[in-house]
């Protein structure tokens, strides 16, 4: 069953976040370490222009299953989370759960 991990960074106007580094370096690092272990896809959302949002940035990671996510984060998380200080001083917050329903449009 598809498992989702959300990684969010608080919308602190005083904290820098290098989005270019995040997209061009950090997320490929995530893919390199976690892709072979069950990470199926990821998406990044930038909410920094929305002052009402509690989050500045949100990464949504879709996994094959919970075991893949748990193993990747537990056994290969140091490489990924060790990179965080290179693009922000903000602490990543994580929450996760199973995908129970979805929809998409096709043209």
Give backbone dihedrals phi and psi of 72, rounded to 5 degrees, phi first. Answer: -60, -45
Q: Does the residue 80 lie in any domain?
A: yes
pLDDT attached to residue 79: 94
Per-residue pLDDT of the chain (107 residues; tens, 9 = 90+): 899 999 999 999 899 999 999 999 999 999 999 999 999 999 999 999 999 999 999 999 999 999 999 999 999 999 999 999 999 999 999 999 999 999 988 76
> If we measure between CA atoms, which residue out of 49, 60, 59, 43 comes closest to residue 11?
49
pLDDT attached to residue 105: 87
Q: Does the residue 71 lie in any domain?
A: yes
Q: Does the residue 103 lie in any domain?
A: no
**Residue 62 maps to which CATH number?**
3.30.70.100
Quote the number of domains for the chain: 1
Q: Does the residue 107 lie in any domain?
A: no
Start-to-end CA distance of the chain, whole Å, equals 26
> If we measure between CA atoms, which residue out of 31, 91, 92, 26 comes closest to residue 63?
31
Q: State the SS3 of 15-46.
A: CCECHHHHHHHHHHHHHHHHHHHCEEEEEEEE
Q: Does the residue 20 lie in any domain?
A: yes
pLDDT attached to residue 107: 64
């Amino acid at each position: 069953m598809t498992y989702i991990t959300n990684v969010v960074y608080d919308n602190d106007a005083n904290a820098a976040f290098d989005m270019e580094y995040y997209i061009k370096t950090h997320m490929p690092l995530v893919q390199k370490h976690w892709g072979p272990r069950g990470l199926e896809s990821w998406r990044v959302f930038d909410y920094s222009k929305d002052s009402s949002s509690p989050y500045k940035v949100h990464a949504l990671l879709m996994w094959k299953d919970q075991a893949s996510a748990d193993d990747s984060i537990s056994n290969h998380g140091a490489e990924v989370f060790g990179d965080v200080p290179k693009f922000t001083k903000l602490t990543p917050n994580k929450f996760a759960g199973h995908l129970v329903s979805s929809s998409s449009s096709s043209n």
